[in-house]
Chains A and B, each alone.
Chain A
Amino acid sequence: MTEEAPGIKSKPVYSPLQYDPKSRWSLMIGEGEGLIGLINLLNSSDSIQSLTNHFMYAGSNVEKDYAHSYFSPNRCNKISQFENQDTLLAKLPQILANSHMGLRLYICGSETFLWKVAGVARAAGMHKSEYNMQLIGSKARRVYCPHCEATSDGVTTDIHECDGCGLPLVNCDHFSREMGAYLGFRVDAEVHGEIPERQELYR
């Protein structure tokens, strides 16, 4: 699952989803390109196919059609497809409220999506050992600005303008699992106007 990257212990590192044979129910949750990770998971073990499981997915129509053909009823007990991430996330709390101990989540998609789902899982009382994450898709970052408390989504560069206060922020690898965000801070605080060239790092 998630391990620590060398050098900065708070940065999450991802690995392929691993099925937990001890679990009783599986909830597979994906968006966009994350579909691949969930297909691989389904193929990795016979028992996951025979378990009570539920597949939740948000993607384009083409992706959803493909997903439906793959996660057909004889491979999966329940299939829920959503128009977008938000509608999927809105439905998830209720599903978890009706779930029981023995459930595992397998989550695959862009980094921000992974942590949004994890946030719902944690709010429902789940421990990190009960959900698995794999990043397939955009590595664009959610960045927290301590100066105005706003978060900016979709940040692909090391420096960006804060969506809240407009200050130029540099983001570092210090990551908050609660927020699903990296920490940013004013890049030119020491000498105003002295802003390095920005680089695109997180596609």
Chain B
Amino acid sequence: MSTDFSHTARVTRADQITPLIKNFSFERVDGKPFGPFSAGSHAVIGMHDGSESYKNPYSLVGSSNNFMEYQIAVRLESNGRGGSLFMHNNVEVGTELEIGNPFNLFPVYKPAKKHLMLAGGVGITPFMAYIDEMDLMKSNFELHYSIRDFEHGAFAKELKKKYPEQVKLYIQADDVIANFNTILNSQPLGTHVYVCGPHQMVGDVLRIADDLGWPTTSIHSEEFKAPDPGNPFTVTLAKSHCEINVRARESLLEALEQANVEIPYSCRGGACGFCKTEVINGEIDHRDYYLTDAEKASGKCIMPCISRAQGDHLTLDI
């Protein structure tokens, strides 16, 4: 169960590094070091705000003092569901929250001859750990980082200074835009491309790479997608004999958790498969990336972290 593998942690640093991005460091309240993690890992941060609780996955940007501290960077999402707002406004040095065990859905492809990273905005976060690993392994890498301007470009100055040859910055304010066609057009065999950033940017890169004949096995992407809101609906739990209401702005998983129903989870974004739950009745609005087409068509299972009822009711076999 995922809840068994979280630790209570205390915020040790909370720095506004750009107008929209805040950098947080944590240490465990029991004083022990965190464990090592692989580049690209995320950890789920759990916090409470009165009756509301949030559980959001964040990329682990790095660690320090041999894993005595974990670091994340959080972008303020004005259209979000409140998690990032809470992090920015209510989480400060000394605040305690829960940090889950690291889990990696965006790992480095180890045998690649060359690693090509394309980052936009807060999408830089997993690449911070990537670059640490590639530096250690003496890998061939390139980072193309698109930012609005230096003020809004988290870590941009430091990265360019430390890796002047490998890091290329594209500053929107100077009208310098990354041309993905050019970048992807002439890469040597054995290059793997990793893209992390806003939805539009990721979509563009995937489309361009595909058009340029990159095989899907050489393209890796991560999007920070919180579940979209939808219509409210009710859920009957067949085994527990109870009814739950799912509000518009919360996911089915969150509603279950609010009702103290424990479901295993990991990524909370429809990609990892951990929260798969059986459905007895009700039409499903599948929004995940995990189930096969056949599984979706069968209507027998759902990924509650992101998918919802098509109508106004579902019966789950839990």
Contacts and interface: CB of A to CB of B under 8 A. Distances in A.
Direct A–B contact present (CB less than 8 angstroms): yes
Interface of A: 20, 22-25, 96-97, 99-104, 124-127, 129-130
Contacts of B188: 97, 99-101, 125
Interface string B188-222: 11110000000000000000001111111110000
A100 B116 CA distance: 14
B186 interface: yes
B210 to A, nearest CB: 6
A99 B212 contact: no
Interface of B: 111-114, 184-191, 210-218
Contact of A23 (B111, B190, B213): B213
A101 B216 contact: no
Given A96-B189, A100-B187, A127 B113 contact: no
Contact of A101 (B111, B211, B214): B214
A101 B187 contact: yes
B217 A101 contact: no
B195 to A, nearest CB: 14
A104 B212 CA distance: 12
A126 B190 contact: yes
A23 B218 CA distance: 13
Contacts of A24: 212-213
Given A124-B189, A125-B113, A101 B218 contact: yes
A22 B213 contact: yes
17 contacts: A20-B213, A96-B189, A97-B188, A100-B186, A101-B184, A101-B188, A101-B189, A101-B212, A101-B213, A125-B113, A125-B190, A127-B215, A127-B217, A127-B218, A129-B215, A129-B217, A130-B215
B245 to A, nearest CB: 46
Name the prevailing secondary structure of the A interface residues.
loop
Nearest 9 Cβ contacts at the A-B interface:
A125-B190, A102-B213, A125-B113, A24-B213, A23-B213, A129-B215, A101-B187, A125-B189, A127-B217
B210 A126 contact: no
A23 B114 CA distance: 20
A162 B185 CA distance: 48
Contacts of B211: 22
Nearest to A101: B187
A125 B215 contact: no
Nearest to A25: B213
A102 B111 CA distance: 18
Contacts of B215: 127, 129-130
Contacts of A20: 213
A25 B216 CA distance: 16
A102 B212 contact: yes
A130 B218 CA distance: 10
Nearest to A51: B213
A201 B216 CA distance: 38
Q: Most chain-B Cβ atoms within 10 A of its Cβ — which of A20, A22, A104, A129?
A: A22
Nearest to A99: B189
Contacts of A22: 210-211, 213
Contacts of A99: 188-189
Interface centre among B112, B188, B189 (most CB of A within 10 A): B189
Contacts of A124: 113, 189-190
Contact of B216 (A104, A125, A129): A129
Given A100-B187, A101-B189, A124-B189, 14 more contacts: A22-B213, A24-B213, A96-B189, A97-B189, A100-B189, A101-B188, A101-B213, A103-B189, A104-B213, A125-B113, A126-B189, A127-B215, A127-B217, A129-B217
A163 to B, nearest CB: 31
A96 B189 CA distance: 7
A199 B202 CA distance: 57
Nearest to A125: B190
Nearest to A123: B190
Contacts of B217: 127, 129
A22 B210 CA distance: 7
A125 B187 CA distance: 12
B104 to A, nearest CB: 20
